[in-house]
Structure 1
Amino acid sequence: MQAQTKKADTLYQMGNYSKAIEAYSIDSTKAYNQQMIAKAYHNLENYEKAKEHYEMAIKIDSTSSFQQFELAKLYYKTSDYTKAINLYNKLIIKDSLNPTLHYNLGLVYENTNQKPLAYTYYKNAYRLDTNYLKASYKLAAAALLNHQYDYCLKLIKEGLATNPNNLDFINLMAVYYYNESDYYRAIPYFEKLIDHNQTSATIYRRLGICYYKAIEIEKAIDAFTNQKYFEPYNPDIPFQIGKCYLKLNEYEKAEEQLLEAITLKSVTFTEEYNSLAFAYQQQEKYKEAIKYYELVLKENPENTFMYYKIAVNADKLYTNPKKVLTYYEKAKEHVDIPYFLNGIDKRIKELNEQIATTSN
């Protein structure tokens, strides 16, 4: 059996997870084997099987905190929040000075919309270890959102002192200065994000505004032009570039950009968005499909059939039946085609039964 376990360990370490599972399963009475089967299933992204075998390992050896810790993380990952909360609380009773346990429990509470409780646990994690940057970032981001600027700045400075290259805190400092209209100080932080390939439409837009306010007009034009790669149909971009050219007294270029802004402002892209959403759906990229179906709705609120399409894609994307149910209930409120209403009603019934079964 020792040789068999060694063989299974080698298979696991080499990434041959299915074969490792077979080898470990020869002796399923050992907690270690059950734990390794669970880890192999986790690596195969078969999370339900992974949870099942961690639970078996804990039944065999209830003293192993590691198995419980891994199982709690899996409960969270699969939106099994009640079990995750219960297990993290048990672990905290045994190891109350472990900041990761408090932080992870905070994540669970945040995802169940219990934010005050979540931030209590983030504070616990930070109190136990002021270098625990994930926890201090959560607190700093919340402080910025709640206009607690002094506390926010204190946490950001601590975070950057611990790790000057932490991109979360660099981004937070950039946003902090931007919100404070301290554009000169915001610029180097936005530039540092871009140097680290942290690019987005929002970052380029804010950097463009900072450059404009700092009278670095050519750099502002470059920033807005880069934003355009992310948002080619955003009419605000040529408008901002047009303003820059006005500052430079380049009126023909300003006119060209401002006319483009006016043209874009008058155009809608309902058909294009719908087609793109369908293309994403066919590729099983359901998150992107939902995004573009929602854009169709934004441009044409009368096209209520989009609620059904959004619900169908949400059903594919999310594993939490309660979350999926909200999409179908919204679709039921808006869709008036009998054939699809029947399908919506059927799915709502199935989801309610699934929720009831899980609760029991």
Structure 2
Amino acid sequence: MKRLIILSASILLFTKLSFPQTENAFIKIDSLLMGENYKTAITELNLVIANDSANIKAYLKLGQAYQENYQNNKAISVLQKASQKDSSLVIQLLLAKSYYNLGFNDKAEKIYSTVYRQDSTNKSVAINLARIYQDKHKYKPAMEIYNTLLKDDSADTFINKQFAFCLMKLDSLELSLKFYQRSLDLNPEDVSSAVQMATICSKLGRQDSAIQFVDYGLSYFPDDPGFNKIKAEILFKKDDYKQAITYYEKVIQLGDSTYPVYQNLGYSYFFYAGQDSNFKVSADYLKDKNAAYANAISAFEKSYRLGNENYYLCYYAAQAADKINELNKAIFFYNEVIRLTVPTFIDKIYKMLGLNYQVKGRYEESIEAYKKSLFYEPNNFEAMWTIGMLYSEMLKDKDKAIKFYENYLKDMGDKKNDMRFLVEARLKELRK
């Protein structure tokens, strides 16, 4: 009995002593978290949990500390343990945040959507759920959430901007412009809204308005590669190739030397060179035009070397080379156009087309298709043989069959091979 009394007294004394110690530890931990000293806070919190594994408050703060320290895997592990002890809303939302941070959008969406259904007035939950919808390109439900939020707070810059973005993605361009304008009015320094408005105006064909919005952005960030590139693209659409060249070259100087930029710079030089009004009639007239074509070729070549095997680019590069008598480059790029536009298996395509015409009894069309197959693959014995057979057997015209084989041998020249032997044998048979 005496031992029991002593034990009970000890437990009571420990509880009285440990409670203020834990509270003092939390005061220290809160100070560490406020000072963003997450590493030390994590250590202190793990000590609290080691002494009191049922302390939900410690688990919550530890999960938050791991999140702020970009250790979301550990945050999830801690918060999952906490949720087994207490499935409170706070724990679920912290879990959702870590899931989102790690890209587990489905898991985060499940939590946020459940909470949102229970309480659609929770602005933080609504915005996080809408962001997940946007990440998944589900713009309609995201737009509906932002629309609901705007009814409570129409002066929120962020919500107006995100609502406008969703409308733009849903092709409601006029309405999107309205809400981007509202966002810009609420925060005139948010130049990204102005740039989005420029993009929309450009899509709507309002290039002058688009230029004005881009210039607004450039007035804040004159050396931003993105803003300069958008302006270059709009100027190109306006057929102002001289100014487009200036901005594309600036974009390259600012560090964006990707193949689309070089490609568009090449197009700008090419079309600029083709506008006679850009050049004064003088002794240097032809020289200036040729210099523009040479610059076009240079830009096209850089784009091509960066991996842009685009047959349009190759065609215009060949055309530019033609203009200034750079025949080797013209030949190279014309060959590239052919390589990029004509499938390597085109002979098989024509052969199968010929077979289908043959089965349908359309023999004249079948012969033409087989001839094209033979043009791309002269050693195609099946096509050669079938053409002669169609003339002699189906069209009952041995003379045409003989003439076809004679021309085939003529085209072969002095080559001695199996094809020549087979054709000669077939001719001998037809001439009997």
TM-score, length basis structure 2: 0.54
Work out whether residues 242 and 253 of structure 1, in 8 Å CA contact, stay in contact via their aligned partners in 2.
no
**Within 5 A, what are the aligned runs for 1:210-289?**
210-212=268-270, 213=272, 215-229=291-305, 233-250=309-326, 252-254=327-329, 256-257=331-332, 259-260=334-335, 263-264=338-339, 267-268=342-343
CA distance in 2, matches of 1:225, 1:46: 43
Alpha carbons of 1:191 and 1:77: their partners in 2 closer, same or farther (altered >3 Å)? Answer: same
5 Å-filtered alignment, 1:84-233, equals 84-212=142-270, 213=272, 215-229=291-305, 233=309
Alpha-carbon shift at residue 195 of structure 1 (Å): 3.4
Partner of 1:338: none
Secondary structure of the 1:216 match is: helix
Residues 38, 54 of structure 1: 8 Å contact kept: yes
Question: How do 1:25-64 and structure 2 match up within 5 A?
Answer: 25=80, 26-27=82-83, 28-55=86-113, 64=122
- Give the deviation of 1:136 after TM superposition: 1.7
What fraction of aligned residue pairs are identical, expressed as a percent? 22
d(CA) in 1 for partners of 2:228 and 2:317?
26
| Shift in alpha-carbon separation, 1:259–1:164, aligned structure 2, 3 A | closer
Partner of 2:136: 78
Q: Show CA shifts across 1:57-109 (max 9, x none).
A: 55787764223221221133234445423321232223211222112112223
Task: For 1:79 and 1:145, locate their aligned partners in 2 and report how far apart those are by CA, in whole Å.
Answer: 20
CA-atom RMSD in angstroms: 3.1
Judge conservation of contact 2:160–2:179 (CA < 8 Å) in 1: yes
Q: Quick one: distance in 2 between partners of 1:142 and 1:177?
A: 15
- The one-letter code matched in structure 1 to 2:261 is I
Contact 1:31 1:58 in 2 (8 A): no
Query: Does structure 2 conserve the Cα–Cα contact (< 8 Å) formed by 1:171 and 1:189?
Result: yes
In 1, the alpha carbon distance for the partners of 2:345 and 2:196 equals: 37
**Cα distance change of structure 1 residues 160 and 149 upon mapping to structure 2, 3 Å threshold:** same
Residue 148 of structure 1 deviates from its aligned partner by 1.8
Q: Does the 8 Å CA contact 2:223/2:254 hold for their aligned counterparts? A: no
Q: 1:59 to 1:243 in 2, by over 3 A?
A: closer
From 54, 58, 69, give the equivalent of 1:3: 58
Alignment map for 1:290-309 (pairs within 5 Å): none
Deviations 1:297-345 (A, max 9, x none): xxxxxxxxxxxxxxxxxxxxxxxxxxxxxxxxxxxxxxxxxxxxxxxxx
Over 3 Å counting, the alpha-carbon distance change for 1:259 and 1:197 in structure 2 is same
Q: Secondary structure at the match of 2:342?
A: coil
Contact 2:269 2:292 in 1 (8 A): yes
Partners of 2:266 and 2:296 within 8 A in 1 = yes
The offset of 1:152, in angstroms, is 1.5
Contact 1:122 1:136 in 2 (8 A): yes
Contact 1:137 1:169 in 2 (8 A): yes
Rate the CA distance shift 1:49–1:220 in 2: closer, same or farther, 3 A.
Answer: same
User: Which residue in 2 is equivalent to 1:340?
Assistant: none
Higher Rg of the two aligned structures: 2
Matched residue type, 1:185: Q
2:205 match: secondary structure: coil
Q: Which residue identity lines up with residue 267 of structure 1 in the other structure?
A: V
Aligned in 2, Cα 1:29/1:261: closer, same or farther, shift over 3 Å? closer
Task: Tell whether the 8 Å contact from 1:92 to 1:102 is kept in structure 2 after alignment.
Answer: yes
CA contact (8 A) 1:123 1:135 kept: yes
Inter-partner Cα distance in structure 2 for 1:254 and 1:221: 9
Give the drift of 1:42: 0.7
Which sits farther off after the overlay, 121-130 or 111-120? 111-120
Distance 2:232 2:221 in 1: 16
Residue in structure 1 matched with residue 74 of structure 2 by the alignment: 19
Matched residues in 1 for 2:252 and 2:345: separation?
32
Correspondence 1:290-329 to 2 at 5 A: none
Distance 1:65 1:238, change over 3 A: closer
Equivalent pairs counted in the alignment come to 270
Tell whether the 8 Å contact from 1:237 to 1:261 is kept in structure 2 after alignment.
Answer: no
Letter in 2 for 1:78: K
**Partner letter of residue 211 of structure 1?**
Y
Relative contact order (alpha carbons < 8 A, sep ≥ 6): 1 or 2 greater? 1
**193-202 vs 47-56, which deviates more?**
193-202
Q: What's the counterpart of residue 289 of structure 1?
A: none
Contact kept in structure 1, 2:266 and 2:295, CA below 8 Å: yes
* Counterpart contact for 1:130–1:136, Cα < 8 Å: no
**1:203 aligned partner, one-letter code:** V
Distance 2:308 2:138 in 1: 40
Q: Distance in 2 between matches of 1:198 and 1:270?
A: 38
- Structure 2 stretches of 5 or more lacking a match? 1-55, 274-290, 347-432
Match of 1:276 in 2: none
State the alpha-carbon separation in 2 of the partners of residues 263 and 237 from structure 1.
12
- 1:27-74 CA distances to partner (integer Å, 9 max, x unpaired)? 545443222111111122221221232345557877642232212211
